[in-house]
Chains A and B, each alone.
Chain A
Amino acid sequence: MKLFIGFVTKEFYHIFRDKRSLFILFGMPIVQILLFGFAITNEINNVDIAILDHSKDATTKEIINKISTSKYFSIKQHIEREADIETVFKKGKVKAVLNFEKDFSKNLIKDYQATVQIISDATDPNTANTISNYVSSILQNYLQEQNKGIKINYVIISQPRMVYNPELKSVYMFVPGVMTIILMLVSAMMTSISITREKELGTMEILLVSPIKPFQVIIGKVFPYIFLSIINAIVIVLLSIFIFKMPVQGSLFLLGVESVLFIISALALGILISTISATQQTAMMISLMGLMLPVILLSGFIFPISSMPVPLQIISNVIPAKWFIIILKGIMLKGVGLQFIWKETLILFGMTFFFIVLSVKKYKIRLE
């Protein structure tokens, strides 16, 4: 016990006396979550559009009014000729142009049909798509209001309802992902670096020529990072609740336990990396390339796993982060309990156990 306390104290000295590791530990999580939360977003707000209105009647005016009062669009300019459409796009002033046909109102009454063309700048396909969807839904809305009381036969109205994230806030998607990345990074990279540092500076030689056992070194190395990672996880959850107003539907206790499980699996991976790398730099490269990229690309954090090619789908199964993200989304967004995520938890548990056994086995009791 005295040995354990002595070792952990030493580790904390290392951490708190090194500005770089302090920054990685505490600066980065906050910066990342804020960046992902605010900067990277699929929502549109105040998009500049232009209007080309050939009819200029009561109906088009009403529709334009409706669009300009919504918070999604702001009307930047009115143009008069078709030829101007290209010009405004090229100047990059607007993202979309609404082109109302001639005699809009008249056609609507006569034929029950009128056309408005939505031309959007698809250099950014996601935004273009979203814009056209938003405009369509404003138009639908308008029509429904107009038709109130009027009976029309056989009309199918589809009513999409987005459950668990009704406003389609992208931060709901990013928080579990960013939390996973940060815990992975802090736990795996920092432990692998801290062990290889002992090798690089030669202190490992002295540790080896002492009665201290491999598992004592490993526990002593890992414990401070478990502690710091838990603090990180708490900070991230608090940030997402209070800044992004993201509710945690499920049990906070379960969230905590699952996080600790994931942290331990990442730490074990870190130890494994340290056994195969001789310098801090190698350890960092392996952690970044070997862990970060798969976590970002293959875990389902950004790209849905179901739309990946089959080989990648299979590979994604061996990435602990994939299972952790499923668990996180389940608890945070759907509010499910252990009975719905026991399978993922079990897989994560199995992986953690495997990594720990492997890393204790691979820990070298001599120099090479």
Chain B
Amino acid sequence: MTTDVGRSEAPGGAVGWVETRLHLGPFLNALLHVPIPRNAKTFYLGGITLFLFGIQVVTGTLLALYYSPTPDAAYESVLSITSDVSFGWLIRSVHHWAANLMILFLALHVLRIFVQAAYKYPRELTWLVGGGLLLITIGFGFTGYLLPWDQRAYWATVVGTEIAGGVPVIGPALLLLLRGGAEVSEATLGRFFGIHVLVLPLLLAGLLGLHLLFVHQQGLANPKYPEPRPGRPAPARPPERLKPFFPDYILDEVIAWYAVLAALVILASLFPAGLEPKADPLVTPEHIKPEWYFLAVYQLLKVVPETVGVVAPVALVLVIVVLPLFDRGEEVLPRRRPIAIACAVLLLVALAVLTFYGAQV
């Protein structure tokens, strides 16, 4: 048996074979062996979102092997995936549920960052890129929803693109660009499919790489103490207690991923993704409703003029994305940021109320 020292200097077998050629050791060490604050509480939300994206890549690639993106064949191909192909119902339902959970965990991740003030110096760019990731993820939900080409998919897209058409000035052009014509048609399905499986994955992968690079460069934020800023006296604080990212944090993260995978399989088994009758452009079904994450906007449009209902959510997202530019205080503890926390609570209550009423028939 080799000694520990001998093993670490020259690993044998396949690992050693690769290492003597590529010298990846120092790179991997720099990637994995970073200390993180012992009191950092991420609740693994960002990592879970990343894991769910990985699941979407795998299940989405599999579904694309059987899916046909034309109005004549789309519905039948989804029906065949669900009923004919082995494990087709499982792959499709896991894709459906992972999409919903991805948006849920992304929202919780944003909330965690906000409450812990981790968007403040020096992490403004990480937050900005994160805003892009949020928009892309919502884009995934919007474009993916049409693909089964059933009644719900079709009419949710008619309403959704109509809402986009309500944006002042650029609305009509945006509507035409989204639909690829005046109506939701074969052109729309082709566009949404291309955007869903090519454009958005490439964009997301790129921004995700940046996001992770930033997180790695800056390390995790300490939720108790603000980051020392250049040119200002460092606030008094006890020496930071650290713990290793690998294997301590990674191990916890992987356990969380296993739990999410189990939850996905249970959800997919108990509540598999359904399919309504095939899309009929001449018959709007009753009680048409978008996915839960669009319900608040949908309900807002019932109670305010269309322009307000369209502009308000867009403005809100923009304000959130550029938040670090005007919220420049150093405080990180929620109890010392009463205005910021009050705004967030107000926003959450408004979203909850709108979503609740939007969900009522």
Do A and B belong to a common assembly? no
Binding site for A on B (CB under 8 A): none
